[in-house]
Structure 1
Amino acid sequence: MLQQYPLSEVEKAFLKESGVQKISTLIPYLMVDNFPKLGLITACRFLEWVSENPKGVISLPTGKTPEFFIKWTQYLLENWDSKKGKEIRAKYGMSETKKPVLKDLTFVQIDEFYPISSQQNNSFFHYVNKFYLEGFGLSKENAILINSDEIILAEGKHFKEIFPDLKVDLTLRFRDPKNPLEKLQQQSIYKIDQWCGEYEQKIRDKGGIGFFLGGIGPDGHIAFNTRGSHLFSVTRLTETNFETQAVAAGDLGGIEVSANRLVITIGLETITYNPDAVGIIIAAGEAKAPIVKDSLETPMNNVYPATVLQKLKNGRFYLTKGAAVKLTDSMDSYYANGDWTWEKTERSIMDLCKKLKKYGHRLKIDDLKNDKYTSLIPDLSENTVNQVMESVLKKIKRGTTKEKNEVLLHTGPHHDDISLGILPHVTNQLQENSNEAHFSVLTSGFTAVTNIFVIDTLLHTKRLLDEGQIQMVRYEDFFSVGYKLKTDKDVYHYLTNVASEDPDQRMRGLCHRVVRAIVIIHQVRNRQELRDTINDIISILKNSYDGEKNPSKIQKLKGMIREFEEELVWAHFGVQVKNVHHLRLGFYTGDIFTEQPEKKRDVEPILEMLRKINPTKLSLTLDPEGSGPDTHYKVLQATAEAVRQWAEEKDLSKLRIIGYRNVWFKFEPHEANVIVPVSLGDMSVMEDSFSNCYLSQVNASFPSYSHNGKFSTVAKRIWVSQLDDIQLLLGKNHFYLHETATVRSSHGLIFFKDMNVEEFLAHARDLEKSIEGMI
């Protein structure tokens, strides 16, 4: 495969470093260790190409995916002849590369929401201008851009006049308009279609795109060419699918907006029009592994849009190891290289059960001998499957063992991560009085709270103030000291009214906490200032566009609402507010690219918490390649460094690290060493606590791409699917005929990894280097 395609000097260097011996996919790929390095290889290849094509046509992606590509490109340009710059260039095949000049390149914008003002910071037009045209010093005169404000519509009107609700009904392309406004809308849609055709022609007049870089969506989309897009599609105004809308929800301020917003996108044929183009798709994290496999191993097919890169001799995928993990090449290499481990035996047997759709006890020795992976098991025998079954039974036994006299510190990057990941396991621990439990969410989580939720809450708060139902503000010392007191009472009041099914009083409990938060944040001194401040916040939010970055004080208010929600969940089980710790790490800013964790700002607060609580068990989300939001990856970096520093201060040989995953990415059975049974009652507790406590999340404004609804439903489905996997090995009767009620009542399973400190730090993939060596 390698000989069939021309590799650049940069690609040869990275290929050699990766150690990959065989590439059998329909599109070549290069593999690197981690997400930051993915940015490095992409930046090197881009600059290598620009050096050879200083007047070429480029098209680069928006969003969070290209963060390290942008940072490495800027770093290399600024340090081309510095010591480190020369070292990087020498290592990756660029010693003889002439320093590229970017000012004469033609930049083509890949896509844009429609309609959206180009003045909004969350428009791709703004992103392109900030990070590429200005950030890379590209020519604005040469750029071919999508500016919604400048697309001429019927009668020369602005899109806000033609589409006052910002919704574009594409059925008007094919039906008669019902009124004068629809007539204008129909004429405008035709004009947009004409504009898209002219946009396509501008690109073709330049010879087509010479260097294309894009990410890949959960449905396989590149640009906004979603699943099912025509392989010969061109620039067009089009709708998107749910998966794409869910991913875009973060940019636009919620699924309520992204579900109703159309897009203008270049087509698949636009990307491949120039047969000599370099076309690169980048993907990081194991959550992307299934769609990467389908895109690389499937013949050209509109169900997998990225397969269109098969048309290009310079078509490539650049992947992290996690994103490549399901490729046949990776599987072959995993089983063929290195020592044969017990994990390999477990994985091959359980995968064979799925492949043949056979229960474990029905697998025959011939089944194992005829499979290319199980046939490699050393000392393969009739008893091999039984040994795997025994191993899984031990994992379940560990998950049902009662823990005593433990100091537990459960952590999560976001509010709801702990609940969605391991709530049934936590409730088992909390039932034992000898255990001491603490919970800590490491970021403020304000980005998950919509403006409309805050506006509605504040309007309700004003009404309650008018009606005298927030009595605490009338106490003489409330604005000096009283606002700090009785936070546990807020929680108890709220949950009492959950029990009594009184939604009005439940809302009153939330409003009490919001008043306290406003007094803290704005240093309010009396009731009139409180009312004025509430009005000011409402006014700011009403005059903000969806997805706009909020002022810092509103960010803090949103974060404190999320913190109250977290306290409510754990109060279900008697956990006091003082045992729920809110760290608000500073790297979490709400910017498109959050900063890298810093030792003083982000690591020391975690280290101080560890010293104070002195846990015997520490849980955390184990997502080394950032399969979910990039916050997971960065929190893991900071936590790993804090644990590493703590280990230098004291003996941590008895500390256990519990690595869990949730709705963004799940463990495979062979990766976990503890399996916890989940009953219908456990699922109900999780669903009820989520619905009753995470009020800002119930409407799922920022849903998972796998489900248009609450995250709790996604978590439940994962637990059920994990039971299905284990039942296929052990048989269903193992569960419903089991001697213990805990296992008999299982209708789902939770997987996690129990590690010592050394195992955790090794698993975190040299994150100290990621922190200190980052550009």
Structure 2
Amino acid sequence: MLTNYPLSPAEEAFLRDSGITKITSKIPYLIVDNFPKLGLMTACRFLEWAADNPNGVISLPTGKTPEYFIKWTQFLLENWEKKKGMEIREKYNLSQVKKPVLKDLQFVQIDEFYPISSSQKNSFYHYVNKFYIEGFGLDPKKALLINSDGIPLAQGKSYREIFPDFKVDLSLRFREAQSEAEKLKQESIYLIDKWCAEYEAKIREKGGIGFFLGGIGPDGHIAFNTRGSDLFSTTRLTETNFETQAVAAGDLGGIEISANRLVITIGLETIVHNPDAVAIIIAAGEAKAPIVKASLESEMTNLYPATVLQKLKAGRFYLTKGAGVKLEDSVERFYTEGEWTELKSERAVLDLCKKLKKYGHRVTLEDLKNDRYTALIPNLNEKTVNDVIKSISEKIERGLAEEKNEVLLHTGPHHDDISLGILPHITKQLHENSNTAHFAVLTSGFTAVTNTFVIDTLKNTKRFLDEGRIQMVRYDDFFDTGYKLKMDKDVYHYLTNVASGNAEERLRGLCHRVVRAVVFIYGVKSTMELRDQINEIITVLKNSYDGEKNPKNIQTLKGMIREFEEELVWAHFGVQVKNVHHLRLGFYTGDIFTEQPDKKRDVEPILNMLRDIRPTKLSLTLDPEGSGPDTHYKVLQATAEAVRQWGEEEDLSNFKIIGYRNVWFKFDAAEANVIVPVSLGDISVMEDSFTNCYLSQVNASFPSYAHNGKFSTLAKNTWVNQLSDVQLLLGKNYFYQHETAKVRSSHGLIFFREMDVEEFLREARELEKSTEGML
């Protein structure tokens, strides 16, 4: 037995599959290779439990995290006695389990924004009804749900009457109301508190939650129990913190909304009230690794809410390898299992420098022998650190190498991914005239543009039309063919006025492109029709709730705004519009769960682009674990298949693939095989181009939980921190005394991996195998 508590048969099978032989954390965990397989493991455990507890009380999560849990649960139930289902059941110890019947399970909703209409598709109430009550065939009469519309308030009024601005001031719990309106708010808050207490009591009347499944937030929150929550907390109306608001921004239409929206959540004590409960936290991706480590290896504390699972015999964490990478057990396995590699030596020495806060040239042989992991380096001697220094230096030399006569195709899942990932490297390539560069964004990216931004832009477009300042609409052929011409002129006009500092004319450049987009999308044939169409779009957006999925035409308009922004960035370097490609792959729909890439619809556009451009180098975001924004790994799958098919037509023996990461995921210096120095000038170009060109993103309506601001600042911080790590090994004098000016001027570093086709396809294939047969 590897843990303090016995595992279920399904868990034992997944543990055996993982090859893990030692677990020392305070809460048991299981690790799988990738995000889809995480869903399979969770589904197997759920169905195993449901078979034994047909009337049990369940509480399941919302959001994107449970996507594959839901899909695998439905797949296994539909294929229980079919070949594929039986193969999975046999492999994971479910062959003797009777097919579960879910209809009598009692569902408990974990949390909800407050206030929010239950009819909104971005409410958790709607999600629960769609994916669990309907999707799993549960009985709605046996469910405890959080419906904002049904919670009684003062004088029987609705929340729209009591809280017309959707803001609930919880200070009214403790202070005197200053007006009649505040008295109604105060009374309503007390009534909500009463409702929450009754909700808690109903859960306890059922005996507590029997099966709990939840994700974990970047601050460690489970449900909406954020960092600092009382370990004995119960169901309540509460505020959230920035990290939680940043994560919720995508659901609610921007941080401007989520920062002011309260939540109703079950408490930590609610989750663990039933001592026999199965409580599972699922986490995927290296971004979650620090909080997973803290939650699994810390004593029970309100700083890490998930530590409350230590109270349960069946408390578990289910993880992808990336999410578990910082665990002491994982670090131990990395260094002690399998053959010793150069990667292990580099990582061990780099980590030792950080642990000792010593520069590499000051690390002694005694230091190496005294460290648990550097002591494992074969043939350890006085030259060991120098060997690592030489290896890292060679990576920097590769990052300095001149590239000539290359056809470069840089791709990104979203607009700004390429820029935030490897812009300084691209800048160097573009300065060489013998190179040809193309840029391709593979999805529309419309979800990152707020309704407010579009409304404001359309109002300005109308103003310019009224003032006669969009002259192109007067040309006879404009509404037939003219709107397709001179796209580069819009870009040049815009950037000229960035240079001159003329914000009004810069805005006019954007509005020119918006006019072209509206004519293209809606097929308008006159200036009058154009005005009418703009008014109609504004009306639709004003009547939409925040976070609502837009009609397809408005999605296209938002996407074309983002496409213009991308063209602006590369025009900084003289790249023409024709060399910036917008693929708008069809799987990207704005739904909570996007489709898997389709081999015809989503692969053919990429394959045709490869055939047309015939690149010698291709860059892409490398997330083979499939754990981050789902667009990343779905684009990776489609690109890998296109490269594979192209390889059947062409000799790709000299074709290189650059795998980069940006603000969501990071390589360390040991993983990367190319390191590119970044100067203050490079940083300035990246930050300036982001601020001046990605207009829809400057206000950071959908920020990273790691930074309350622009992604460009987060990218800069990443590059600077990566320099600090390498500088500790190489020493500062390596940089400021280097013979190359580019290295002497470096104040940041970019890490990426250059691969051949075979290596790339091998990584991508592992992710594809994890979903085969299900979708």
Q: Which residue pairs with 2:126 in the alignment?
A: 126
5+ unaligned residues in a row in structure 1: which ranges?
none
Contact map agreement 2:484 2:516 (CA 8 A) in 1: yes
Matching of residues 652-667 of structure 1 within 5 Å: 652-667=652-667
TM-score after normalising by structure 1: 0.99
Q: Which residue pairs with 2:521 in the alignment?
A: 521
Deviation at 1:676, TM superposition (A): 0.7
**Cα deviations across residues 640-684 of structure 1 (Å, max 9, x unaligned)?**
111111111111010111010101111111000111111111111
**Cα deviations across residues 462-509 of structure 1 (Å, max 9, x unaligned)?**
111111000000111000110000000000000001011001100000
1-side partners of 2:762 and 2:139: how far apart?
Answer: 45
Contact map agreement 2:214 2:281 (CA 8 A) in 1: yes
Deviation at 1:772, TM superposition (A): 4.5
**Cα deviations across residues 574-599 of structure 1 (Å, max 9, x unaligned)?**
00000000000000000000000010
Matching of residues 28-427 of structure 1 within 5 Å: 28-427=28-427
1:88–1:514: structure 2 CA closer, same or farther, 3 Å change rule?
same
2-side partners of 1:556 and 1:294: how far apart?
Answer: 42
Q: Which residue pairs with 2:501 in the alignment?
A: 501
2-side partners of 1:263 and 1:765: how far apart?
Answer: 40
1:276–1:49: structure 2 CA closer, same or farther, 3 Å change rule?
same
2-side partners of 1:765 and 1:266: how far apart?
Answer: 40
Contact map agreement 2:34 2:770 (CA 8 A) in 1: no
2-side partners of 1:751 and 1:318: how far apart?
Answer: 29
Deviation at 1:771, TM superposition (A): 6.0
SS at match of 1:178: coil
**Cα deviations across residues 297-321 of structure 1 (Å, max 9, x unaligned)?**
1111111111111110000111111
How many residue pairs are counted as aligned between the two chains? Answer: 775
Contact map agreement 1:220 1:295 (CA 8 A) in 2: yes
Compare 57-66 and 89-98 and name the one that shifted more.
89-98
Partner amino acid, structure 1, of 2:671 = E
Partner amino acid, structure 2, of 1:30 = L
1-side partners of 2:626 and 2:706: how far apart?
Answer: 17
2-side partners of 1:514 and 1:4: how far apart?
Answer: 62
Q: Which residue pairs with 1:740 in the alignment?
A: 740
Deviation at 1:765, TM superposition (A): 4.5
Compare 478-487 and 32-41 and name the one that shifted more.
32-41
Contact map agreement 1:671 1:753 (CA 8 A) in 2: yes
Deviation at 1:763, TM superposition (A): 2.6
Q: Which residue pairs with 1:556 in the alignment?
A: 556
Deviation at 1:764, TM superposition (A): 2.4
2-side partners of 1:714 and 1:574: how far apart?
Answer: 26
1-side partners of 2:333 and 2:740: how far apart?
Answer: 41
SS at match of 1:766: helix
2-side partners of 1:131 and 1:137: how far apart?
Answer: 9
**Cα deviations across residues 330-370 of structure 1 (Å, max 9, x unaligned)?**
11111111110001000000001111111111111111101
Partner amino acid, structure 1, of 2:115 = P
Contact map agreement 1:213 1:282 (CA 8 A) in 2: yes
SS at match of 2:119: coil
2-side partners of 1:724 and 1:615: how far apart?
Answer: 34
2-side partners of 1:276 and 1:455: how far apart?
Answer: 53
**Cα deviations across residues 547-601 of structure 1 (Å, max 9, x unaligned)?**
0000000000000000000000000000000000000000000000000001001
Partner amino acid, structure 2, of 1:422 = I
SS at match of 1:668: coil
SS at match of 1:358: coil
Deviation at 1:417, TM superposition (A): 0.2
2-side partners of 1:571 and 1:720: how far apart?
Answer: 26
Contact map agreement 2:625 2:767 (CA 8 A) in 1: no
SS at match of 1:55: coil
2-side partners of 1:255 and 1:673: how far apart?
Answer: 37
1-side partners of 2:413 and 2:176: how far apart?
Answer: 51
1:771–1:91: structure 2 CA closer, same or farther, 3 Å change rule?
closer
Deviation at 1:770, TM superposition (A): 4.5
Q: Which residue pairs with 2:542 in the alignment?
A: 542
SS at match of 1:264: strand
Compare 291-300 and 575-584 and name the one that shifted more.
291-300
Matching of residues 753-768 of structure 1 within 5 Å: 753-768=753-768
Compare 703-712 and 617-626 and name the one that shifted more.
617-626
1-side partners of 2:227 and 2:765: how far apart?
Answer: 34
2-side partners of 1:60 and 1:490: how far apart?
Answer: 49
Deviation at 1:625, TM superposition (A): 2.3
2-side partners of 1:3 and 1:27: how far apart?
Answer: 8
Q: Which residue pairs with 2:727 in the alignment?
A: 727
Residue 479 (str. 1) matches residue 479 (str. 2): yes
Q: Which residue pairs with 1:592 in the alignment?
A: 592
1-side partners of 2:680 and 2:164: how far apart?
Answer: 47
1-side partners of 2:627 and 2:217: how far apart?
Answer: 12
1:628–1:35: structure 2 CA closer, same or farther, 3 Å change rule?
closer
Contact map agreement 1:395 1:675 (CA 8 A) in 2: yes
Residue 699 (str. 1) matches residue 702 (str. 2): no
Contact map agreement 1:199 1:235 (CA 8 A) in 2: yes
SS at match of 1:318: strand
Deviation at 1:769, TM superposition (A): 2.6
2-side partners of 1:773 and 1:756: how far apart?
Answer: 28
Compare 752-761 and 504-513 and name the one that shifted more.
752-761
Deviation at 1:733, TM superposition (A): 1.6
1:294–1:699: structure 2 CA closer, same or farther, 3 Å change rule?
same
Compare 65-74 and 731-740 and name the one that shifted more.
731-740
SS at match of 2:427: helix
Contact map agreement 1:627 1:665 (CA 8 A) in 2: no
Deviation at 1:288, TM superposition (A): 1.2
1-side partners of 2:287 and 2:403: how far apart?
Answer: 32
SS at match of 1:326: coil
2-side partners of 1:599 and 1:748: how far apart?
Answer: 39
SS at match of 2:601: helix
Partner amino acid, structure 2, of 1:99 = K
1-side partners of 2:270 and 2:82: how far apart?
Answer: 38
Output the aligned Cα RMSD: 0.9
TM-score after normalising by structure 2: 0.99
5+ unaligned residues in a row in structure 2: which ranges?
none
Q: Which residue pairs with 2:718 in the alignment?
A: 718
1:628–1:89: structure 2 CA closer, same or farther, 3 Å change rule?
closer
% of aligned pairs identical? 78
Contact map agreement 1:112 1:146 (CA 8 A) in 2: yes
Contact map agreement 2:37 2:770 (CA 8 A) in 1: no
1-side partners of 2:770 and 2:346: how far apart?
Answer: 32
Deviation at 1:774, TM superposition (A): 3.6
1-side partners of 2:690 and 2:625: how far apart?
Answer: 27
2-side partners of 1:673 and 1:663: how far apart?
Answer: 19
Contact map agreement 1:288 1:627 (CA 8 A) in 2: no
Partner amino acid, structure 2, of 1:662 = N
**Cα deviations across residues 56-100 of structure 1 (Å, max 9, x unaligned)?**
000000000000100111111111111211111111111111111
**Cα deviations across residues 114-158 of structure 1 (Å, max 9, x unaligned)?**
010000000000000000001101111110110000100111110
Partner amino acid, structure 2, of 1:439 = F
Partner amino acid, structure 2, of 1:411 = T
Partner amino acid, structure 2, of 1:198 = E
Q: Which residue pairs with 1:15 in the alignment?
A: 15
SS at match of 1:129: helix
Contact map agreement 1:494 1:506 (CA 8 A) in 2: yes
Q: Which residue pairs with 2:611 in the alignment?
A: 611
Contact map agreement 2:34 2:767 (CA 8 A) in 1: no
